[in-house]
Amino acid sequence: MNKYLFALGAIAFAAWTFIGGGLGISAAQEKAVKLPPPAIDTPAAAQAGTATAVFAGGCFWGVQAVFQHTQGVLNAVSGYSGGEASTATYRQIGTGRTGHAESVQITYDPKQISYGKLLQIYFSVAHDPTTLNRQGPDSGPQYRSAVFYQGAEQKKVTEAYIAQLDAAKTFPRKIVTQVTPLTAFYPAEAYHQDYATLNPNQPYIARFDLPKIENLKAALPEVWREKPVLVAQAGK
């Protein structure tokens, strides 16, 4: 579904949401899943400088916003992964035939937050990893759940965590997240960056993405940051 068409059709619903108590109602409908931390993780001392992770989990607006509110994250950029450079545009990926998924590239300080902790946030509050090619009202392979790993260590930690969560039956259904090597990440168009922060009253954001941010604060307060790190301000 095109998010902009959804937004137009959701105005009445959004008005009801705000009249009925605003974010509280939406958050109640979008509960986070309490997850244990990964049993296997990369020690902070093992990495120097900055590191990156690339996750796909439905519309990149909400995934980006969650990680922008995460301590230790230095930047989170919405974009596309899984396809070719020539098709890395919003118009083309919307066809579902490019191989791309809406993704977020997270640059983080491994001394402050581990790759495993990012995975815990990703599986707990950023999206539902048990729905195949769908998140909320958005359907198609461009909205699939996928971890685009970089190197053997990220692959090992990701696969071990998925096995750990499936074995513990933390979700009612099996995790369908793809674990695939990153070949390239292409930043999305400028108007997609920082979208949830810049458009908090947009009906789609209010219904599907603001609850994720509130769930991060409630479920993982140890990593919560009140002021998001924005693409427009990163590096300044």
Q: Which of 92, 79, 69 is nearest to 209 (CA)?
A: 69
Element at 105 (helix H, strand E):
strand 101-108
Token couple for 198: 């810049």
Give the separation between CA 225 and CA 159, rounded to whole angstroms: 28
140 is catalytic: no
Give the separation between CA 64 and CA 31, rounded to whole angstroms: 18
Work out the end-to-end distance of the chain between its first and last CA atoms, rounded to an integer number of angstroms: 36
DSSP class of 126: I
Burial class (CB in 10 A: 0-12, 13-18, 19+), 233: exposed
CA triple 225-219-57, angle to 5 deg: 85
Give the separation between CA 155 and CA 177, rounded to whole angstroms: 13
Q: Assign 68 to helix, strand or coil.
A: helix
Q: Active-site residue among 14, 32, 53, 59?
A: 59
Could you give the residue numbers annotated as active site? 59
